[in-house]
Amino acid sequence: MQRNKFTTMRSLKVLDRCKGAQVYALHTTGGGGGDVGDKLYHQLQDHLSVNPARPISMHNYQSSNVPLAYVNETLLPYGLPVSDLLEPQIESCLKFVDFIGTLADLYRRIENCPQFEKTGMYLEQCAIFKGLSDPKLFRRTLRAARQHTVDVHSKVVLAAWLRYERREDELRGTNSMNCCGRNIECPKATLVPGYNPEFIYDPCVCSKNPQGESVDDYSIEDVECSTSDEYRDMSFCIGDNEIRCIRYCIASLSTPFRTMLYGGFRESRKEKINFTQNGISIECMKAAELYSRIRRVDSFDPRIILELLTFSNRFCCDDLKLACDSYLASLVNDVENALLLIEYGLEENAYLLVAACLQVFLRELPNSMHSPNVMKYFCSPEAKERLALVGHASFLLYFFLSQIAMEEDMKANTTVMLLERLADCATESWQKQLAYHQLGVAMYERKEYKDAQSWFEEAYESGHIYSKVGIARTKCKRGHKYSAYKMINSLISEYKPVGWMHQERSLYCDGKEKMSDLEMATQLDPTLCFPYKYRAVLLLETNKIGAAISEIGKIISFKVSPDCLELRAWISIAMEDYERALRDVRALLTLEPNYMMFHGKMHGDHLVELLRPFVQQWSQADCWMQLYDRWSSVDDLGSLAVVHHMLANDPGKSLLWFRQSLLLLRLNCQKAAMRSLRLARNHSTSDHERLVYEGWILYDTGHCEEALAKAEESISIRRSFEAFFLKAYALADTSLDQESSAYVIQLLLDALRCPSDGLRKGQALNNLGSVYVDCEKLDLAADCYMNALNIKHTRAHQGLARVFHLKNQRKAAYDEMTKLIEKARNNASAYEKRSEYSDRDMAKSDLAMATQLDPLRTYPYRYRAAVLMDDHKENEAIAELTRALAFKPDLQLLHLRAAFHDSMGDYASTVRDCEAALCLEPNHADTLELYNKVRELVKEQ
């Protein structure tokens, strides 16, 4: 949505109370609400103070004789959204017309490239995965890139990026240079060059505690005494001072010294050589003489080592330079030291020292992004050239920096400069596509349309087809709408259409053609938000508010995003449903705490305060009751809003932050979930509690063994429900043989013996029932599920249905799932599971409903495709899977389509789908087996 200072409502038919031009001065206050809005709000509060009755519905509010305009102007100070001003964002990631083909090609190239080039290939994979909704794919590929890295520079950048992905900067009490205990991120291990992919996950040097080893402390005085003067056969004179030296030791420092002292120069025949005019201090020359004998610099003062660094450059003393470089690098441990030493490193071409300084800056991100003293070493062309001279300017470095800058502020000058440096470093085709396209997006956001069009054209010429969207958009902004239409129309004609093409063409046409394109966009890709938003606003403008709420609710039911929640809240305010509006705003703020509502003109927190007088006020006890009620009805968004309310009253409650993270994970909002988990850890009041939350953070970022260790450490301090539950959960995720299953059962029983609330105990009972089912202990499983249902853990109906099914009680299983469908607010999964206990026709009906409610669920597509294959409708089966793969590249879908192609003898398509699947999961055993089998068949043919 574009900002428009003088937006009037598009339709005058939308509720009488909203009539009139909503024109206000936009001088915002600290709350973001505007002077007029604040004034009206306070007038409203003053009036309400004489009648403190709650709740206040719109009906009894009108009866209080307060002018209704006060409510409208307070809650809707900027009017309602306007359909003509809506437009989808241009995505800043790489997008492809044939994404499956792109994945397959990438997998082949990764498998066939030399070992030392794999880092670059994995970096390309990172760029591709960045556009997917699953951050785990990106993090796994980032780890693979780090694993295959050879040079120090790349190790430093990738280790810092991995740390940033966990956002440890938000954990209280942590230092940016702390080591996680593994080589993959260890700040010391990154400064060691060399290729060793096999030991990347081993414990690093920092975590080891060698016994019986000691480091000798050397001083100049000690070693001076250790060498007799009779061996010193020459001197360097600096002023009146004479530094006695051993000629062959000095000569061994470098070729220039060897030539001077043993070559044809006159110095080779002198016992005393005058070094007064060389700008070398007496202390530096003494240190150089000592180094020539002991080959160590760690006993010297850092100031002397800096002089030695200059000395080594002047006289080409490579070993001395490396020793100084390494030692100075080991001293860099904070931003202050890094800012002091990086200038020396750049001036003296000290590769490791600059690497160490860069490492501190990068591990301090995103905070260091806001420091001009730090960013001056990255942003300008001159800064990039200085880094290049010392071997530290790379596409990788600027890829990392620019991604963070775009997350912080897409329009900022720093972002544009970093993207320009990214473009300077781009050499390969995909690198140019990414850099040029992202520059186009940044310029478009800054409304610099001419420059944006130029960059989009560069990206398109480099091979990025999606950048045509940017070209068309900028042409339209510059008054060439028909030209934009023709451009996207030709794109649809030239390539196999995908959802975003029709979405884009809809911007340049009107009426039925526009709506047709939006419908086609939704059919091809139901995950695109814009078509739902546009249709909802159009319905709002024609006074069909209930239909508008329903339309935007369709996508919120399976893909929660702040902009869609904002729109539903906006419409809810228009229809006087303040409770739903407040619920959506609270849920939105859980996803993005600093979200600005109404085209960026009002902070979400301010709108919460404006809405609160119009809804029932809850105590903390009321909130717990509401949470139980919503939890039992599987209303995750409603639960999220209640937890947000509770945190507003008690922001220091770690348990609530943890509960929030669990709800966000259920809603597939992983970034927000991790932030809530970090806040839970920060607000924990005991060590055992902190360790549990740290364990969950590690588990959710793919470090299962470390998570288990945290759980065990927490249990050693205090036996608690959450510690046992974490340990059981992490252990069950590794491998469950009979012995480990028994151990997981015991852990869950231990958890249930510890104090906890019913919500968590319901989850533990549900998990325990699942393990019992896997162990074929069906009666025990049924008991667990029944106990869970008794404390309103509604999802236990699903487990109980599974037990009935295994007992051949199919009707009872079906009835259990029907109960879940009736109780659950979000019931797509319930329809999906009920289909397993139905006949074919009823199963098809349930799965159709599941797809309608949540098109991202892959089982319905696989089932329908399998049925079609059974009916010998091979092409229709392939088409069913292809339809889903167009917007959800999924491992199981790809594997099944590969198997179908194999059964049809289409080996080329089989290989392509296997390669695409293996790009997503390289170790998937079934796909590897099929892939190898088909390749052998192809070779034989």
Q: What is the pLDDT of residues 903-912, one digit of tens each?
A: 999 999 999 9
Work out the pLDDT band at 646, boundaries 50, 70, 90. very high
Judging by beta carbons within 10 Å of its beta carbon (0-12, 13-18, 19+), is residue 666 exposed, middle or buried? middle
Lowest mean pLDDT segment, chosen from 59-73, 573-587, 744-758:
59-73
Burial of 73 (0-12, 13-18, 19+ CB in 10 A): buried
The total number of structural domains that make up the chain: 2
Whether 587 and 641 map to the same domain: the answer is: no
**CATH code of 632's domain:** 1.25.40
Cα-based distances in Å from 661 to 664, 666, 667, 668, 704: 5, 9, 10, 10, 18
How does residue 529 score in pLDDT terms, banded at 50, 70 and 90?
very high
Cis peptide bond N-terminal to 562, omega within 30:
no
Residue 894: which of 885, 904, 906, 883 has the closest Cα? 885
Could you give the CA distance from residue 466 to residue 487 in angstroms, rounded to a whole number? 12
581 and 623 in a single domain? The answer is no
Q: Tell if the pTM clears 0.75, that is, is over it.
A: yes
Q: How confident is the model at residue 446 (pLDDT cuts 50, 70, 90)?
A: very high
Lowest model confidence (mean pLDDT) among 110-124, 721-735, 864-878: 721-735
| Percent of the chain residues topping a pLDDT of 70 | 89
Question: How is residue 9 annotated by DSSP?
Answer: P
Tell whether the model's pLDDT for residue 172 goes beyond 60. Answer: yes
Q: Is residue 668 part of a domain?
A: yes
Q: Is residue 573 part of a domain?
A: yes
pLDDT of 218 higher than 80? no
Check residue 3 and give its pLDDT. 35
Statement to judge: residues 540 and 575 lie in one domain: yes
pLDDT digits 0-9 by tens, 467-503: 999 999 999 999 999 999 999 999 999 999 999 999 9
pLDDT digits (tens, 9 = 90+) for 504-522: 999 999 999 999 999 999 9
Residue ending a domain, among 590, 614, 638, is 614
The confidence band for 39, taking pLDDT boundaries of 50, 70 and 90, is very low
Instruction: Please tell me whether residues 663 and 601 are part of one structural domain.
Output: no
| Pair (604, 625) in one structural domain | no
Sign of the CA dihedral running 129, 134, 140, 143: positive
User: Mean pLDDT over residues 3-10, rounded?
Assistant: 30
Among 678, 700, 720, the domain boundary falls at 678
Token pair for 200: 């990347």
| Domain with 593 in it | 527-614
Neighbours of 126 (CB within 10 A): 23
Q: What is the separation of C-alpha 783 from the centre of its chain, rounded to a whole number of angstroms? A: 40
**Residue 709 located in a structural domain:** no
39 compared with 683, residue with greater pLDDT: 683
- Report the percent of the chain where pLDDT is more than 90: 74
Same domain membership, residue 638 and residue 605: no
**Domain co-membership, 562 together with 610:** yes
CB 474 within 8 A of CB 452: yes
For residues 165 and 168, what is the distance between their CA atoms, to the nearest angstrom? 8
Residue identified by tokens 């699953």 is: 134
Whether 538 maps to a domain, the answer reads: yes
Model confidence at 211, pLDDT cuts 50, 70, 90, reads very low
The owner of tokens 């892939």 is 931
* Cα 33 to Cα 611: distance, rounded to the nearest angstrom: 13
- For the cut 70, the answer to whether the pLDDT of residue 44 exceeds it is no
Q: What is the pLDDT of residue 735?
A: 67
Q: Which of 35-44, 447-456, 874-883 shows the lowest mean pLDDT across its residues?
A: 35-44
Q: Residue 627: pLDDT above 90?
A: yes
* Statement: residue 879 has pLDDT above 90: yes
Q: CA–CA separation, 701 vs 199, rounded Å?
A: 20
Residue 221 banded pLDDT, cuts 50, 70, 90: low
Across all residues in the chain, what is the average pLDDT? 88
Of residues 441 and 174, more confidently modeled: 441
Q: Which residue in the block uniquely carries the two structure tokens 């005085």?
A: 221
Burial of 896 (0-12, 13-18, 19+ CB in 10 A): buried
pLDDT: is 70 or 325 the higher one? 325
Structural domain includes residue 586:
yes
- At residue 208, the pLDDT reads 56
Token readout for 513 is 């053609």
Does residue 769 contact residue 796 with C-beta atoms inside 8 Å?
yes
- Nearest C-alpha neighbor of 760 from the set 724, 786, 732, 735: 724
For residue 630, tell me if it sits in a domain.
yes
pLDDT above 80 (res 653) = yes
- 374-403 average pLDDT score: 97
Q: What is the DSSP string of 64-131?
A: TT--HHHHHHHH-TT----GGG--PPPP-S---SSHHHHHHHHHHHHHHS-GGGHHHHHHHHHHHHTT
Q: How confident is the model at residue 227 (pLDDT cuts 50, 70, 90)?
A: low
Asked whether residue 108 carries a pLDDT value surpassing 60, the answer given is yes
| 443 pLDDT higher than 90 | yes
The C-alpha atoms of residue 2 and residue 600 are separated, in whole angstroms, by 9
Looking at this protein, which amino acid is placed at residue 303? R
Q: Are residues 594 and 562 in the same domain?
A: yes
Please name the residues in contact with 26: beta carbons below 8 A apart, sequence gap of 6 or more.
5, 34, 601
Which residues have C-beta within 8 Å of that of residue 153, sequence separation ≥ 6? 355, 358, 391, 392, 394, 396, 397
Q: Is residue 533 part of a domain?
A: yes
Asked whether the predicted pLDDT for residue 380 surpasses 90, the reply is yes
- Answer whether residue 171 shows pLDDT above 80: yes
Report the alpha-carbon distance of residue 4 to residue 78 in Å, rounded: 9
Question: How would residue 275 be classed by pLDDT, with cut points 50, 70 and 90?
Answer: confident
Q: Which backbone phi and psi does 235 adopt, to 5 degrees?
A: -140, 150
How many other CB atoms sit within 10 Å of the CB of residue 610? 27
Q: Using CA of residue 64, residue 70, residue 72, residue 76, what is the dihedral sign?
A: negative
Contact 924, 916 (CB under 8 A): no
Retrieve residue 228's tokens. 């007799």
Question: Which residues are registered as beta bridge partners of 244?
Answer: 235
| Rounded distance between C-alpha atoms, residue 913 and residue 927, angstroms | 9
In terms of phi and psi (left: phi > 0; alpha: psi -120 to 50; beta: otherwise), the region of 200 is alpha
* Residue 24 or residue 643, greater confidence: 643
Least confident segment among 9-13, 129-133, 368-372, 826-830: 9-13
Lowest pLDDT segment from 409-413, 425-429, 445-449, 935-939:
935-939
Q: What is the pLDDT of residue 194?
A: 87
Same domain, 558 and 584: yes
Q: What is the pLDDT of residues 593-617, one digit of tens each?
A: 999 998 889 999 999 999 999 899 9
User: Are residues 586 and 625 located together in one domain of the fold?
Assistant: no
Same-domain check for residues 634 and 667: yes
Distances (CA, A) of 323 to 253, 305, 675: 12, 9, 42
Digit-coded pLDDT (tens) for 741-769: 999 999 999 999 999 988 899 999 999 99
| CATH number of the domain bearing residue 578 | 1.25.40.10
**Cα separation, 55 vs 576, whole angstroms:** 14
pLDDT at 181: 73
With respect to residue 642, please indicate whether it lies within any of the assigned structural domains.
yes
In the sheet with 234-238, reading across from the earlier edge strand, the strands are 241-245, 234-238, 272-274
* Structure confidence by residue, pLDDT tens digits, 339-356: 999 999 999 999 999 999
Structure tokens belonging to residue 707: 């998570």
The span from the CA of 469 to the CA of 459, in Å, is 11
Average pLDDT value for residue range 250-263: 90
CA 911 to chain centre: 31
Domain end, chosen from 589, 614, 639, is at 614
Q: What is the pLDDT of residue 705?
A: 87
Does the pLDDT at position 59 exceed 70? no
Cα gap 870→877, rounded to integer Å: 9
**518 SS3 class:** helix
The arithmetic mean of pLDDT across residues 858-878, rounded, is 96
